[in-house]
Amino acid sequence: MISPYKTLMVSPDSSDDTIKKAYKKLSMKHHPDKGGDKDKFQEITKAYEQIKTPEARGQYTRPQSNPFGGVHINTNNFSNLFKPTIKGFLSVTLQDLAEDKKHIVQLSTHIVEIDIPPTINDGDTIKYPQSNNTDLLITFRIVPDMNWERTGNDLTMNLDIDFWDLILGGSATVSNILKQQLNIIIPVKSEPGTKLRLKGHGLHTGDMYVRLNAVMPSEIPDAIINEIKRIKTK
């Protein structure tokens, strides 16, 4: 077993402050969010837990024996017999909910990987049982997205369309929440506010909707204006 002092590159007689500074320096260097190795980061964190206080160092360097045999339970760690709970908040985007990947969460000196259900709502709390007799309670905050409206698992975006394209029809290219390019067909004589459905491109099993907003052309030839007037007066 590698000594925690060796892992943190400190000596056994180092002060609490020295050990803490060494841990912070190494954890920042090897943090997975900064491109570091997750296993190395967990090794550093475990080492710090073992020697971060005089009591912890004493237990690590002087394990107590039980004269009656079996495992000795240190009364300082009696709380470990009960399941502790770690609470935290995590802000996520709609794109985070759409991506099928694990997310790394760090709370104090604890780091874990969690799955985020795409169906969660702002303020939802989920319990993640851990292998070390700990429950991790995460309350989620959904970051508002100015480009998307969410209704359940459905997502709606706005698309500005030239007035003439609404009348004559046409096509356009849009991006879904995962930045994938999609083609849509604009029906002839579409009204402003029309919503076009793209099945399965929302969250989880939800759909994506494109709301068509009319944009007036900057210039309209007089001939077209006169023709519209003529048709209107018929």
Instruction: Compute the Cα dihedral for 151, 154, 160, 164 and give only its sign.
Output: negative
* pLDDT tier, 209 (very low <50, low <70, confident <90, very high otherwise): very high
For the chain, what is the mean pLDDT?
A: 81
Question: Based on the structure, what is the number of domains in the chain?
Answer: 3
Indicate whether 199 and 177 sit together in one domain. yes
Evaluate whether residue 176 is within a structural domain: yes
- pLDDT, one tens digit per residue, over 158-173 is 999 988 899 999 999 9
Indicate whether 156 and 211 sit together in one domain. yes
C-alpha to C-alpha distance for 33 and 99, rounded to whole angstroms: 17
C-alpha to C-alpha distance for 210 and 230, rounded to whole angstroms: 34
Could you say which DSSP state residue 68 is in? T
pLDDT exceeds 60 at position 37: yes
pLDDT exceeds 80 at position 151: yes
Token match 């320096």: residue?
25
Looking at residue 69, its pLDDT comes to 32
Q: Which domain CATH number covers 4?
A: 1.10.287.110
Q: Are 159 and 213 in contact (CB under 8 A)?
A: yes
C-alpha to C-alpha distance for 187 and 131, rounded to whole angstroms: 56
Could you say which DSSP state residue 75 is in? G
Evaluate whether residue 30 is within a structural domain: yes
Q: Which domain CATH number covers 98?
A: 2.60.260.20
Give the domain range for residue 181.
149-215
Torsion of CA 184, 187, 189, 190, to 10 degrees: -50
Looking at residue 78, its pLDDT comes to 37
Looking at residue 175, its pLDDT comes to 95
Looking at residue 74, its pLDDT comes to 35
Does the pTM surpass 0.85? The reply is: no
Residue 2: φ, ψ to 5°: -75, 135
Evaluate whether residue 7 is within a structural domain: yes
Indicate whether 37 and 14 sit together in one domain. yes
Cross-sheet strand order for the sheet of 154-162? 149-151, 154-162, 208-215, 195-198
Tell which of 94, 117, 144 closes a domain: 144
Indicate whether 1 and 60 sit together in one domain. yes
Indicate whether 46 and 6 sit together in one domain. yes
Looking at residue 199, its pLDDT comes to 96
Evaluate whether residue 204 is within a structural domain: yes
